[in-house]
Amino acid sequence: MKKTIVTNDSLYQYFAKHGYRLTAPRKEIISILAQNNNHPSIEEIYFSVHKKYPSIGITTVYRTLDLLVNLGLVHKFDFGEGKARFELIDHPDGIGHHHHLICVECKKIINYTDFIDKEVVLFKKIQNRLSKKYNFEIKNHIVEFYGTCEDCKTS
Amino acid sequence: MKKTIVTNDSLYQYFAKHGYRLTAPRKEIISILAQNNNHPSIEEIYFSVHKKYPSIGITTVYRTLDLLVNLGLVHKFDFGEGKARFELIDHPDGIGHHHHLICVECKKIINYTDFIDKEVVLFKKIQNRLSKKYNFEIKNHIVEFYGTCEDCKTS
DNA sequence: ATTTTATTGATAATAGTTTTCATTTTCATT
DNA sequence: AATGAAAATGAAAACTATTATCAATAAAAT
């Protein structure tokens, strides 16, 4: 799946502009996220990165994800499993953008893209108004439907 | 703030139907939630309930909230603070329904109701299609905009 | 009344995340 | 290229929200 990844150069600029450094472990973590749109957890990211960069510590993964969230490059999800999950933010109207159906029982997550167009058009409008009204710089949004999935309805 | 609270009787029926009992601590917890639309945390709920019902243990609060979420009466939020927050679910088109703006830095939460009508109309349509397509029983939805608030933009 | 089943509360255990701190790396400036 | 300042890293310890355990209690069914 193709993501609208920024080039290393412009990423570098972006980090520098905010006073941070685009180091090897950070690049590796971003690269893993770019290959993966299944909202991986810290542990999953850690293991993936570890293959290419065995010296990495899990603390760095935590810190990097935190940084990426604050830079507005990554979104942090909590689907009720007791651990966070992460995903690179595409342009909200770009390829790859999706919303979620979440089963409150088994925590299964379904990505859907139906209606995304209509949702995005509405949200763009809402976002403009809200950011002006509250002087709030909106970086991304999430939409989630909670309920019971096919498998858990019966049992 | 008025919530569309079910009466004790019908609540009782609802619990019974699912094989649960509407006990004193559970009633107290629900009552606290009904008075409070500021998404309280477990600890906050615990302290509130404790005033009226001092013998309650925090474990019961955890368990009850978990139950209420599974029954579809309460929504569990995670705003990135490392702890959950809860809120009674109103009818999605009813009074009190709101969406959120969340500051990724200071975790401040702004409830907004602007555009709720349009959002709700669209979501009702989406919800119908999704629940059929995925055979998923949707109980509620959330919409959240993430970004940087007024105060944190400058610093 | 009695039996069964669900619920409760205290405690202990778990797991995800954060803090601390000494070491290393990166970048800007010689 | 060498140096110094600032930022980033990794290991370990500390923290904290949440969950599991288990004996005691309360509620419903018989």
**Chain B residues with beta carbon closer than 8 angstroms to that of A150:** 134-136
CB contact under 8 A, B72 and A147: yes
Burial of B79 (0-12, 13-18, 19+ CB in 10 A): buried
CA neighbor of B142 nearest in space, from A123, A77, A80, A142: A142
> Each residue of B65-98: pLDDT tens digit?
999 998 989 999 998 889 999 999 876 666 678 8
Q: What is the C-alpha to C-alpha distance for residues A143 and B69, in angstroms, rounded to an integer?
A: 18
Q: What is the C-alpha to C-alpha distance for residues A143 and B114, in angstroms, rounded to an integer?
A: 16
Would the pTM count as exceeding 0.75?
yes
The answer, yes or no, to whether residue A56 has pLDDT greater than 90, is: yes
Footprint of strand C on the protein (CB under 7 A): A 16, 21-24, 41-43, 58-59, 62-63, 66, 82-84; B 15, 19-21, 23-26, 53, 55-60, 63-64, 82
Partner A contacted by B76 (CB < 8 A): yes
Q: Which nucleotide is nearest to B84 (CA to C1')?
A: D17
CB contact under 8 A, A137 and B147: yes
> Each residue of A67-98: pLDDT tens digit?
999 898 999 999 988 999 999 987 666 667 88
pLDDT of residue A5: 47
For residues B120-143, average pLDDT: 91
Amino acid letter, A142: I
The answer to whether the CB of A112 falls within 8 A of the CB of A142 is: no
- Min mean pLDDT across A62-66, A132-136, B146-150 is at B146-150
Which residues make beta-bridge pairs with B100? B111, B144
CB contact under 8 A, A146 and B142: yes
Measure A19 CA to D9 C1' (Å): 17
